[in-house]
Amino acid sequence: MALEKLRRIDDTKIEVPLDYKPGMGVKGIIYVDDLLEKELETQSIDQVANVATLPGIVGASLAMPDIHTGYGFAIGGVAAFNLKDGIVSPGGVGYDINCGVRLLRSNLKKEIVLPRIKELVNILYNEIPSGVGSKGKIRLSPEDEGRLLIHGARWAVEQGFGDAGDLERIESGGCIDGADPSLISRKAYERGKAQQGTLGSGNHFLEVQYVDEIYDEKAAGSLGLFNDQITVMIHTGSRGFGHQVCTDFLEVMERAVIKYKIELPDKELACAPYESPEAQDYLSAMRAAANYAWANRQCIMHWAKEVFMRIFNISPKELGMTLIYDVAHNIAKIEEHVVNGKKMKLIIHRKGATRAFPPGHPELPEIYRALGQPVLIPGDMGRVSFVLLGTGKAMKETFGSTCHGAGRVMSRHQAIRKAKGRAIWREMEDKGIIVRSAGRETLAEEMSEAYKDVSNVVDVVHSAGISKKIARLRPIGVIKG
């Protein structure tokens, strides 16, 4: 049995060896301790091995401790390909292009907000559209949508949603160059024109949290975090627009596999050579969807701030609600890394994985250059989330990557079956967490038991040294899609 070939490297890593599956060009490495190893799915291990067979892969096929089975690539997967004979695969990014996380800090303390948390959650729920197919307050003309796809969060700031200072606190400045709106299908435009400024469904959320533990006082202070402080975390992506871009280009890539005679162990890994027109077109369309997502999170942040100011009747200065950082965790990017002692430009696929760049990295904004990149790891709605920092070890071992969340242990259907007859919202309220959701099934799908314990996941990446724990955040109010 292939599983018997797995080898533990150390307390935080196991190896998927070259002979695990025929055709592997590099080994696989999965970041898990003994506890999380018991929750590994055979299919997700196979997916790590499958990715290791793709042309031009360098280093290793990697997976983070929140790994679970996905489309083609495992969720939690990281893979780097050289630009000469490597490939680009939509399955290595996922359907929700630039799904990501944004964290806001404030001057408010828990004792001020807790007495009004129910009112706050209800108004946030009414002001920020959520749920399947939800439509927002923004109606985009074709011209507006084209500008948004090129300029990303900059477009949102120009429309009055936030401040120019926000942009330096967003990965890539909230806009990745090279987007081409002409490559977007009419169906994607149709799906996207009414969904800007919406949370969407599934595991997307807006959480009102407070800082309940600090692990590094100096670093937390540099980020503007303190004990019992109210924070807001936003988790969403490119909505139906990005989903349609992925759908459209999977068809293109399926034809490309035949055209370029690429042998695949799984058709879901459909891809094209990096230098091919198919791969370049996908990357240009993917960048447009990534920019859509950054604008989306920017608009939601603006409305959340307005709600806080209205409910607590305070000025922007008194509220002090500012962006700490915004990270993407479903994206492909060209980056420079050292492989076997040599600097190389690579196309890094992160699918359910977060950049974790170290202090001094040239891509970090000046405000975080000395500190390192903030890493935002949400948990399930009933437990906690974490703020970490990127490290030099991540650059050496994981192409500057770490985990992105807790990771599912139950399918959505399994979770719905397990929750039958239960009132999840009441169970949450008993824990001191007020929840609003577009539907009862969403709460069932998203209940805590459906996920790994994010504390265990974060302990692995912290112990492995690929990101460093700074603070823990506990939810008191949740809006779920």
Six-digit token pair at 357?
Answer: 């760049």
Helix and strand tally (H, E) in the chain? 17, 19
For 28, the 3-state DSSP assignment is strand
CA gap 365, 360 in Å, rounded = 10
CA dihedral 278→283→285→288, nearest 10 degrees, is -170
Identity of residue 336? E
Based on the residue annotation, tell me whether 361 is a catalytic residue of this protein.
no
Which among 243, 337, 404, 462 is annotated as catalytic?
404
For 363, the 3-state DSSP assignment is coil
Identity of residue 73? F
Write phi, then psi, for 138 (nearest 5 degrees). Answer: -95, 130
The answer to whether 353 touches 401, Cβ cutoff 8 Å, is: yes
The answer to whether 12 touches 33, Cβ cutoff 8 Å, is: yes
Helix ranges (H only) for 321-435 are: 366-369, 392-397, 412-418, 424-430
CA gap 47, 56 in Å, rounded = 17
CA dihedral 411→413→417→420, nearest 10 degrees, is 110
CA gap 305, 104 in Å, rounded = 9
CA gap 64, 71 in Å, rounded = 16
The answer to whether 129 touches 246, Cβ cutoff 8 Å, is: no
Q: Would you please indicate which residues are annotated as catalytic (active-site) residues?
A: 404
